Homo-oligomer: A and B are copies of this chain.
Amino acid sequence: MSSGVNGVSRVGRVLTLDNMNPNVKRLEYAVRGPIVQRAVQLEKELKEGVKKPFTEVIKANIGDAHAMGQKPITFLRQVLALCAYPDLLEDNRFPEDAKQRAQRILQACGGNSLGAYSASQGIECIRQDAARYIQKRDGGIPSNPDNIYLSTGASDAIVTMLKLLVAGEGRERTGVMISVPQYPLYSAALADLAAVQINYYLDEDKCWGLDVTELRRSLAAARQHCNPRALCIINPGNPTGQVQSRQCIEDVIRFAKEEHLFLMADEVYQDNIYAEGCAFHSFKKVLFEMGPEYSDAVELASFHSTSKCYMGECGFRGGYMEVINLDPEVKVQLTKLVSVRLCPPVSGQALLDLVVNPPQPEEPSYETFMKERNAVLADLKAKAQLTEQYFNAVPGITCNPVQGAMYTFPRVTLPQKAIELAKKEGQAPDMLYCMKLLEETGICLVPGSGFGQREGTYHFRMTILPPAEKLKVVLEKIGKFHQQFTQEFS
């Protein structure tokens, strides 16, 4: 037996659960947590011929459109194939506009290859295209390509921005306001960075709306023990599916200015708007429409991705962040920080270029592109309505309208006996519920406790992505399960 100079044991493993990074130990990411691991195991068992009360595991736990059968948009994939293997530029099966896009992207790549590193901030002409896209989206408010950072999905840029903000110790440690329910990337990143997570609650009774009074309460409480510096908003909401009104966004911006908070706007579902009367308003647009008092002062980072909307191209890990009013000296530091990872995947950058620079009406691919795009969005809209209607007809389940994004976050009434059993087993009651659902039906959902919810309420998150026919079956199975579960524990 020997022991180190610092009294550290030198027997057994160097790296153990006891002596590893405590921040990592603390972090949780429910979207891929134990329930998903069990789902993967069940799939394997099914393949091996083990008998189950179901023939298929349906993963409604994650916004993974292609995995749920959504077909890739033809134009995007044509250009990617041309970029990967430029010999195909000679092939007349590809439309001219696809070839032109591919050539333009390749010309911007070192050695005309997707295999070269790009600039750390992303390929310049793609950042220019992103700026034009933002400018058009926001009714002409200028966007500067120098403020755009391409990223490895939106997650990468969100973590990077949070990392810049974290400083101080004890009561001066950076606090970051996130919604409850939230997308658990935020809580995981804050745990990893040892920053303070500040919860503000969305109002389930008001369609998961955001109320500034609640922001004030939350901030005042947090100021007692940390230094709140940033406010994160997800709009359209994940997991809640709400779409913020223009008025709400104005209120949030005013609040951020008054309270000296850095705004982070996660807007990856910006094309996923379904409810009548709802529209997507970018934080950037509203900020600039509020005039220079705000647009010259409030620091904002907004995030977009190739993974959601009509594309659903999660696997390519494309995304960007636009920063507004970021201190130029901090920008230098940001550029330095992203350069350590060299560059975001160049194929993801190429894909992003097509999203921000899609076929135009005069181009040969336009018609097919619009048809495919609109079909995906119309299908999601129909499924959003179907889901809401179905769940609200089940006794014990209530469900806000899925105004946008691709999830529903219904509230389930759980019998007291089930709650007690779960507590006895050291499990969240909605985890018990979801685990039982998985074992009995093969449907994989994420318990509300993985996103956060008001004490004593229980939810689950389900994507609306399964094909309509399968979605109906899923809804019916969940409805039936809920009734059985309620009976079993009553």
Which chain A residues have a beta carbon within 8 Å of chain B's beta carbons? 4-6, 8, 10-11, 13-17, 19-22, 24-25, 27-29, 31-33, 40, 62, 64-70, 72, 77-78, 80-82, 84-85, 88, 91, 93, 109-111, 113-120, 152-153, 155-156, 159, 163-168, 171-172, 185, 188-189, 192, 223-224, 227, 229-230, 259-262, 299, 311-317, 325-327, 329-330, 333, 336-337, 339-348
Taking CB atoms, residues of chain B closer than 8 Å to A153 are: 341-342
Check if B314 sits within 8 Å of A115, measured CB to CB: yes
CA of A32 to CA of B340 in the docked complex: distance in angstroms? 8
Taking CB atoms, residues of chain B closer than 8 Å to A27 are: 336-337, 340
Check if A342 sits within 8 Å of B15, measured CB to CB: no
Check if B109 sits within 8 Å of A165, measured CB to CB: no
Taking CB atoms, residues of chain B closer than 8 Å to A5 are: 223-224
Contacts A14-B261, A78-B85, A117-B315 known; list 11 others, CB within 8 Å: A5-B224, A6-B172, A14-B229, A17-B330, A20-B165, A20-B333, A21-B167, A80-B85, A116-B314, A117-B314, A314-B342
Check if A325 sits within 8 Å of B13, measured CB to CB: yes
Of the listed residues A4, A6, A152, the one surrounded by the most CB atoms of chain B closer than 10 A to its CB is A6
Contact of A16 among B19, B115, B327 (CB under 8 A): B327
Check if B166 sits within 8 Å of A13, measured CB to CB: no
CA of A32 to CA of B152 in the docked complex: distance in angstroms? 19
Check if A81 sits within 8 Å of B70, measured CB to CB: no
* Cross-chain pairs A/B with CB under 8 angstroms, 27 sampled: A5-B223, A13-B325, A14-B262, A24-B164, A31-B339, A32-B120, A65-B115, A66-B115, A66-B116, A72-B113, A77-B85, A81-B84, A81-B85, A88-B88, A113-B315, A114-B315, A114-B316, A115-B311, A115-B312, A115-B313, A116-B314, A152-B317, A192-B340, A314-B342, A315-B343, A315-B347, A316-B345
CA of A314 to CA of B230 in the docked complex: distance in angstroms? 34
Taking CB atoms, residues of chain B closer than 8 Å to A346 are: 315-317
**Closest B residue by C-beta to A328:** B17
Measured CB to CB, the closest approach of chain B to A333, in angstroms, equals: 6
Measured CB to CB, the closest approach of chain B to A282, in angstroms, equals: 20
Taking CB atoms, residues of chain B closer than 8 Å to A311 are: 115
Copies in the assembly, this chain: 2
Check if A260 sits within 8 Å of B14, measured CB to CB: yes
Contact of A6 among B29, B111, B227, B325 (CB under 8 A): B227
Check if A20 sits within 8 Å of B110, measured CB to CB: no
**Closest B residue by C-beta to A306:** B115
Check if A15 sits within 8 Å of B117, measured CB to CB: no
Taking CB atoms, residues of chain B closer than 8 Å to A159 are: 341
Measured CB to CB, the closest approach of chain B to A397, in angstroms, equals: 28
Measured CB to CB, the closest approach of chain B to A284, in angstroms, equals: 17
**Closest B residue by C-beta to A94:** B85
CA of A21 to CA of B166 in the docked complex: distance in angstroms? 5
**Closest B residue by C-beta to A161:** B15
In the complex with contacts A4-B260, A116-B315, A315-B114, A340-B80 CB distance below 8 A: no
Check if A4 sits within 8 Å of B227, measured CB to CB: yes
Check if B317 sits within 8 Å of A66, measured CB to CB: no
Measured CB to CB, the closest approach of chain B to A26, in angstroms, equals: 10
CA of A431 to CA of B128 in the docked complex: distance in angstroms? 32
Check if A340 sits within 8 Å of B66, measured CB to CB: no
Check if A110 sits within 8 Å of B67, measured CB to CB: yes
Taking CB atoms, residues of chain B closer than 8 Å to A68 are: 111
Measured CB to CB, the closest approach of chain B to A320, in angstroms, equals: 15
In the complex with contacts A315-B113, A315-B118, A17-B341 CB distance below 8 A: no
Contact of A330 among B11, B15, B32, B329 (CB under 8 A): B15
CA of A14 to CA of B299 in the docked complex: distance in angstroms? 7
**Closest B residue by C-beta to A118:** B315
CA of A259 to CA of B6 in the docked complex: distance in angstroms? 13
CA of A343 to CA of B120 in the docked complex: distance in angstroms? 20
CA of A14 to CA of B174 in the docked complex: distance in angstroms? 11
CA of A192 to CA of B113 in the docked complex: distance in angstroms? 31
Taking CB atoms, residues of chain B closer than 8 Å to A188 are: 340
CA of A188 to CA of B64 in the docked complex: distance in angstroms? 33
